[in-house]
Amino acid sequence: MIAAIRHDWSRDEVERLFALPFNDLLFQAQTVHRQYHDPNAVQVSTLLSIKTGGCPEDCAYCPQAARYATGVKAEKLMSVEAVLAKAQAAKDAGASRFCMGAAWRAPKDRDVAKVAEIVGAVKALGLQTCATLGMLSGPQADTLKAAGLDFYNHNIDTSPDYYGEVIHTRDMQDRLDTLEHVRAAGMKTCCGGIVGMGESRAQRAGLLQTLANLPEHPESVPINRLVQVAGTPLAGTEALDPFEFVRSIAVARLLMPASVVRLSAGRESMDDALQALCFAAGANSIFYGEKLLTTGNPDVEHDRRLFERLGLKPMEVAFEPGTVHADIVEPAHA
């Protein structure tokens, strides 16, 4: 039976998935993964911080918050030319999507106008475009869409019942409002969260349940493993059991069968075997290139070799939600 696209997951159901024996969970996730995706294709995105540091928010994980002494220097928005050079290099290295991040709480309209110019230029290189700039108003989302922005990344970060432990300068509803503006403008959403921030398993279930019960599943779901940065309040948090991370990927795959699930931040501290397990659990996207925003990522050669060893290939064309992997007939989209 083909997995249905559901938006009515209960916390209990999600917790029961987390509690399955590891092999049963992976088997279920792999089965669903193959119904909706080519199991050997991985979408490849490259990230660039186009405006680094100096952020007024207090996200407890983030090296770019001005209030934490993390050694990240605040910089101005990059020029169109400088971003384009990085985008071209990402394309030449094999990325299909270019994601631009800015350490803003919310951009001003004049910032959006500048980013719109950058987006148009990156898009003209033939790359898919993604941006993550903080909270957006409806008109700002429309401007970015008109400039050619394909995806907007805005994470809910954690379960509603853990959110207050991590962020105090904006609430969950602000995030949901931005996601609504992005969808209304006709852009695809990239929305996920971070695990390993000291939350309980029930709260990891709460994060994934909240994502799956959004009005539409995000087309892209980044699952980040906390990158612990000295100076942030979450530095020193007890490390998450690696198998619990794999379980989080598998449950995300089961709850959002058609979405692309990204094995996102945290790969630099994962060995190849753990990453292979994440792909087996249903992850089918990575960030590619030596840097995330301010922290490190595996080097390109290492990732190429890993793809080779696992028989993975870069996903050529963006996965269009709603399409089902070719050899499956009669998709049962609920």
Instruction: Report the catalytic residues.
Output: 55, 59, 62, 99, 130, 190, 262
What is the smallest separation between the CB atom of 291 and ligand SF4, expressed in angstroms? Answer: 15
For 19, residues 6+ apart whose C-beta sits below 8 A from its C-beta are none
Q: Do the Cβ atoms of 96 and 88 come closer than 8 Å? A: no
What is the smallest separation between the CB atom of 308 and ligand SAM, expressed in angstroms? Answer: 27
Structure tokens at 145: 């869409």
What is the smallest separation between the CB atom of 75 and ligand SAM, expressed in angstroms? Answer: 14
Q: Cα-flanking dihedrals φ and ψ of residue 236, to 5°?
A: 95, 0
What is the smallest separation between the CB atom of 248 and ligand SAM, expressed in angstroms? Answer: 13
DSSP string, 203-250: HHHHHHHHHHTSSS--SEEEEEEP---TTSTTTTPPPPPHHHHHHHHH
Instruction: Name the pairing type of β-strands 128-132 and 188-190.
Output: unpaired
Q: Per the annotation, does 99 bind a ligand?
A: yes
Q: Which of 5, 118, 122, 134 binds ligand SAM (CB under 6 A)?
A: 134
Closest Cα to residue 160, out of 168, 151, 172? 172
Q: Which of 47, 122, 229, 258 binds ligand SAM (CB under 6 A)?
A: 229
How many CB atoms are closer than 10 A to CB 85?
A: 12
Q: Which of 150, 157, 199, 303 binds ligand SAM (CB under 6 A)?
A: 157
Q: Which helix (H) or strand (E) holds 145?
A: helix 138-147
What is the smallest separation between the CB atom of 131 and ligand SAM, expressed in angstroms? Answer: 9
Q: Which helix (H) or strand (E) holds 129?
A: strand 128-132
Of the pair 36, 61, the CB lying nearest ligand SF4 is at: 61
Of the pair 101, 206, the CB lying nearest ligand SAM is at: 101
Of the pair 181, 262, the CB lying nearest ligand DTB is at: 262
What residue 294 binds from ligand DTB, ligand SAM, ligand SF4, none (CB within 5 to 8 A, per partner kind)? ligand DTB
Q: Which residues bind ligand SF4 (CB under 6 A)?
A: 55, 57, 59, 62, 64-65, 103, 105, 134
Instruction: Name the pairing type of β-strands 313-314 and 285-287.
Output: unpaired
Q: Per the annotation, does 262 bind a ligand?
A: yes
> Which residue is listed with tokens 């989209």?
333
Of the pair 26, 90, the CB lying nearest ligand SAM is at: 90
Closest Cα to residue 160, out of 208, 218, 224? 208
Q: Per the annotation, does 62 bind a ligand?
A: yes
Q: Which residues are annotated as a binding site for [2Fe-2S] cluster?
A: 99, 130, 190, 262
Binding residues for ligand SAM (CB under 6 A): 55, 61-62, 64, 101, 103-104, 132, 134, 154-155, 157, 194, 224, 226-227, 229, 265, 293
